[in-house]
Amino acid sequence: MTPTSTDPSTAQQPAYKRVMLKISGEALIGDQGFGLHPPTVQRIAEEVKSVHDLGVEICMVIGGGNIFRGLSGSAQGMERTTADYMGMLATVMNALAMQSALEALGVFTRVISAIRMDEVAEPYIRRRAVRHLEKKRVCIFAAGTGNPYFTTDTAATLRANEMSCEAIFKGTKVDGVYDKDPVKFDDAKRYDTVSYDDVLAKRLGVMDASAIALARDNNLPIIVFSLDEPGGFRGILAGEGTYTKVHG
Calculate what percentage of the chain has a pLDDT beyond 90: 79
The yes-or-no verdict on residue 8 having pLDDT over 50 is no
| Confidence at 12, pLDDT banded by 50, 70, 90 | low
User: What pLDDT shows up at residue 10?
Assistant: 45
Q: Report pTM.
A: 0.91
Regarding predicted confidence, which is higher, 8 or 157? 157
Burial-class residue 65 by CB neighbours within 10 Å (0-12, 13-18, 19+): buried
Minimum mean pLDDT range among 6-15, 153-162, 208-217? 6-15
What's the chain's average pLDDT?
91
Does residue 35 have a pLDDT over 80? yes
Read off the pLDDT of residues 79-104 as tens digits, 9 standing for 90 and up.
999 999 999 999 999 999 999 999 99
Determine the pLDDT at residue 183.
85
> Residue ranges per domain, the chain?
18-247
Kindly tell me the burial class for residue 27, based on how many C-beta atoms sit within 10 Å of its own C-beta (0-12, 13-18, 19 or more): buried
Q: Does domain 18-247 have CATH number 3.40.1160.10?
A: yes
Q: Among 28-32, 43-47, 50-54, which is the least confidently predicted range?
A: 28-32
Q: Side chain identity at 40, as an amino acid letter?
A: T
Distance CA 11, CA 225 (A): 22
